Amino acid sequence: MNDNTIESLKQALLFSPDNVPLKQHLAEMLLNCGRFDEAQKEYEELLSMTDSTSVRFGLASIFYNKNEYSKCNVILEGLLQDSPHDFDLLLLHTRALLKENEIAQAITMYKLVLEINPGFSDRELDSALRLANTSSVESEYHPFIQMPDISFKDVGRMDAVKKEIELKIIHPLKHPEIYKAYGKKTGGGILLYGPPGCGKTYVAKATAGQVNARFISVGLNDILDMWIGNSEKNLSDIFSIAREHKPCVLFFDEIDALGASRSDMKQSAGRHLINQFLQELDGVDNDNEGVLILGATNTPWHLDQAFRRPGRFDRIIFIPPPDNFARKSIFELKLRNKPTGEIDLEELAKKTQGYSGADIDAVIDIAIEAKLDESIKSGKAHPLITKDITDAIKRHKSTTEEWFATAKNFALYANESGLYNDILAYLKITK
């Protein structure tokens, strides 16, 4: 299938040989398919047409793959002068230095890699280079940047959500040149909303994992709770950090914190912050390409309308409570590392209709506490069985009902352009 794409890209280039994005796409495909000589030819031609970083980086990758490490390093040194904090440049440079046996230099580079992404690990580099004591340095650096260990396969069901995210975010990220060549605008973010504890944060993280991108998670309340004058600087720092770490998913949790209903947001300082946030979203002063923006809120109705204009959060997706299948897999996941006897997952899922993922956490906690009590009294440890958990379910009510009571009113009486139709559908209300 790649071969077909390559052939059609070549054909297209015969007709528009000066189309840089198209040519660049071809070069990347060739590189990814391991057709290094052909890729090299394309990249070298591209060099005379454009001087973009990605072209030179592509060439460096080719030299690396052809075991021509010193050429690779020369290019990377040049690129790093302009962008000394670029993760991909630093990583490739680390590898190529190691191949050249420049251990001291490689260690220096690898430290920079780990500063940017403390969670990063790589078997070969770790065993050759990782120093015993890097953790103290790591923790000072952007602790909110993670390399996620989950992807879509870990998210039970939610097919509609996954599909929407693929169309809107993942395809444009993977094939930016094609989108550009056809003049299709990319950008804009997705807003996830729904009752608390039902997987908004989880699916955002899985999106990053799905495309092997870093996950930068920011609680807007954290930013706002700092001194208001400083919030703006924090906000713009976060966007620049994200731009330095592309590709990444930049996730704004509690985005309603910027909502107009907050009294301090009605004042001019708050207004100013909202405007700055919107401006950063629009990428007016900067380029957001490669930065995938996701937001989450439990109360979308408190969000300023300006957030939903095209190019901002122009898709809004409902994340419902996990369905039967998803609840089964959540139970399975959460019980995996606990001492268990006979567990009827089907039964547990059936009895937790409407429960959120967080509710299921709570239920298991309650069951374990009861079990501990019992074990201490009897002096014997017993594994958890189905009945322990069904007893706990009786003691913990679902927390999503309250949310739906409020949401229902907005869906019925403030449902501009069908924004909340998904809520009505979930509640099986026909209007």
Ligand X SMILES: Nc1ncnc2c1ncn2[C@@H]1O[C@H](COP(=O)(O)OP(=O)(O)O)[C@@H](O)[C@H]1O
* CA 95 – CA 85 distance, rounded (Å): 16
Interaction between residue 223 and ligand X (CB under 6 A): no
**Residue 308 CB: number of other CB atoms within 10 A?**
17
In the 8-state DSSP scheme, what is residue 340?
A: B
- 288 φ/ψ angles, rounded to the nearest 5 degrees: -95, 10
Binding partner of residue 202 among Mg ion, ligand X, none, CB cut-off 5 to 8 Å per kind: ligand X
Interaction between residue 249 and ligand X (CB under 6 A): no
**Residue 394 CB: number of other CB atoms within 10 A?**
10
Interaction between residue 243 and ligand X (CB under 6 A): no
Report 357-396 residues binding ligand X (CB under 6 A).
357-358
Q: Which residue is nearest to Mg ion (CB)?
A: 201
Binding partner of residue 328 among ligand X, Mg ion, none, CB cut-off 5 to 8 Å per kind: none
Beta bridge partners of 294: 190, 251
Least distance (Å) from Mg ion to the CB of residue 421?
23
Task: Considering only the stretches 41-49, 148-156, 199-207, 215-223, report the one whose residues sit in contact with Mg ion under the rule CB under 5 A.
Answer: 199-207
Beta bridge partners of 315: 190
Judge contact between 64 and 44, C-beta under 8 A. no
Interaction between residue 199 and ligand X (CB under 6 A): yes
- Beta strands per DSSP E along 32-181: 145-146
Nearer to Mg ion, 196 or 311 (CB): 196
- Give the residue, chosen from 198, 208, 213, 235, that forms a contact with ligand X under the rule CB under 6 A: 198
Interaction between residue 231 and ligand X (CB under 6 A): no
Task: Considering only the stretches 109-117, 124-132, 322-330, 406-414, report the one whose residues sit in contact with ligand X under the rule CB under 6 A.
Answer: 322-330
- The Cα diameter of the chain in Å comes to 82
Interaction between residue 335 and ligand X (CB under 6 A): no
Interaction between residue 165 and ligand X (CB under 6 A): no
Interaction between residue 196 and ligand X (CB under 6 A): yes
Least distance (Å) from ligand X to the CB of residue 211?
18
Interaction between residue 158 and ligand X (CB under 6 A): yes
**Residue 273 CB: number of other CB atoms within 10 A?**
22
Nearer to ligand X, 46 or 198 (CB): 198
- Give the residue, chosen from 75, 330, 348, 363, that forms a contact with ligand X under the rule CB under 6 A: 330
Task: Considering only the stretches 28-36, 121-129, 182-190, 192-200, report the one whose residues sit in contact with ligand X under the rule CB under 6 A.
Answer: 192-200
Least distance (Å) from Mg ion to the CB of residue 253?
5
Least distance (Å) from ligand X to the CB of residue 200?
3
* CA 87 – CA 311 distance, rounded (Å): 27
Least distance (Å) from Mg ion to the CB of residue 233?
25
Task: Considering only the stretches 200-208, 237-245, 261-269, 420-428, report the one whose residues sit in contact with Mg ion under the rule CB under 5 A.
Answer: 200-208
Kindly list the strands in the beta sheet with 145-146, ordered across the sheet, starting from the edge strand earlier in the chain: 145-146, 214-219, 248-253, 291-297, 190-193, 315-318
Nearer to ligand X, 55 or 165 (CB): 165
Judge contact between 232 and 269, C-beta under 8 A. no
Interaction between residue 206 and ligand X (CB under 6 A): no
Interaction between residue 328 and ligand X (CB under 6 A): no
**Is the N-terminal amide bond of 383 cis, ω within 30° of 0?**
no
Judge contact between 148 and 205, C-beta under 8 A. yes
Interaction between residue 400 and Mg ion (CB under 5 A): no
Interaction between residue 255 and ligand X (CB under 6 A): no
68-100 residues labelled b (16+ CB within 10 A) or e (exposed): ebeebbebbeebbeeeeebbbbbbbbbbbbbee
Contacts for 166 with CB less than 8 Å, ≥ 6 apart: none
Interaction between residue 19 and Mg ion (CB under 5 A): no
* CA 85 – CA 247 distance, rounded (Å): 14
Residues that bind ligand X (CB under 6 A): 155-156, 158, 196-202, 296, 322, 326, 329-330, 357-358
Residues that bind Mg ion (CB under 5 A): 200-201
